[in-house]
Amino acid sequence: MKVTTPHYYKDFKCIAGACTDTCCAGWDVDVDKDSYSYYKTVKGAFGRRLQSVMVPSEEGECTFTLKEGGRCPFLNDENLCDLYIELGEDRLCDTCAEFPRFINDYGNVREIGIAPSCKTAGELMLSYREELTFDTEDEPELIPKPNDIDAFTYMQLRQARIAAFGIISDRDISIYERLAMYLEYARQIQKHLDTERDELIANVAKKFCSFDYRTNELGKLKDNTKMLEKKRLIKGLRCFFDDFPGMEVINPDWNIHVKRIRDVLDRLSEDKGLTELVREYHRRHSKLEQEYEQLAMYYVYRYMLDAVNDYDVLLKAKNAVIGILAVDIMAAANEALGVEADFTLRVDIAHLYSRQFEHSYYNYEVYRDLFGRKRCYSYRFLMDALLSLD
Question: pLDDT for 317-329, tens place per residue?
Answer: 999 999 999 999 9
What are the percentages of helix, strand and coil residues in the chain, rounded to 5? 60, 10, 30
Same domain, 356 and 242: yes
Whether 128 is in a domain gets the answer: no
Whether 57 is in a domain gets the answer: yes
Q: What percent of the chain has pLDDT over 90?
A: 69
- Residue 256 pLDDT exceeds 90: yes
pLDDT at 314: 97
Same domain, 212 and 93: no
Whether 345 is in a domain gets the answer: yes
Q: How confident is the model at residue 69 (pLDDT cuts 50, 70, 90)?
A: confident
pLDDT at 251: 87
Question: pLDDT for 361-390, tens place per residue?
Answer: 899 999 999 999 999 999 999 999 999 998
Q: What percent of the chain has pLDDT over 70?
A: 98
Q: Is 2 exposed, middle or buried (0-12, 13-18, 19+ CB in 10 A)?
A: middle
- Residue 83: CB atoms within 10 A of its CB come to 25
What domain range is 84 assigned to?
24-98
Mean pLDDT of 47-58: 90
Same domain, 161 and 47: no
Question: pLDDT for 79-94, tens place per residue?
Answer: 888 888 989 888 888 8
Whether 120 is in a domain gets the answer: no
Whether 274 is in a domain gets the answer: yes
**What is the count of structural domains for the chain?**
2
Rounded distance between C-alpha atoms, residue 367 and residue 373, angstroms: 10
Whether 50 is in a domain gets the answer: yes
Same domain, 223 and 89: no
Same domain, 66 and 200: no
Same domain, 196 and 317: yes
Same domain, 79 and 170: no
Rounded distance between C-alpha atoms, residue 75 and residue 69, angstroms: 12
Same domain, 312 and 184: yes
Whether 130 is in a domain gets the answer: no
Same domain, 287 and 366: yes
Q: Could you tell me which of 222, 224, 184, 221 has the C-alpha nearest to residue 204?
A: 184
Whether 119 is in a domain gets the answer: no
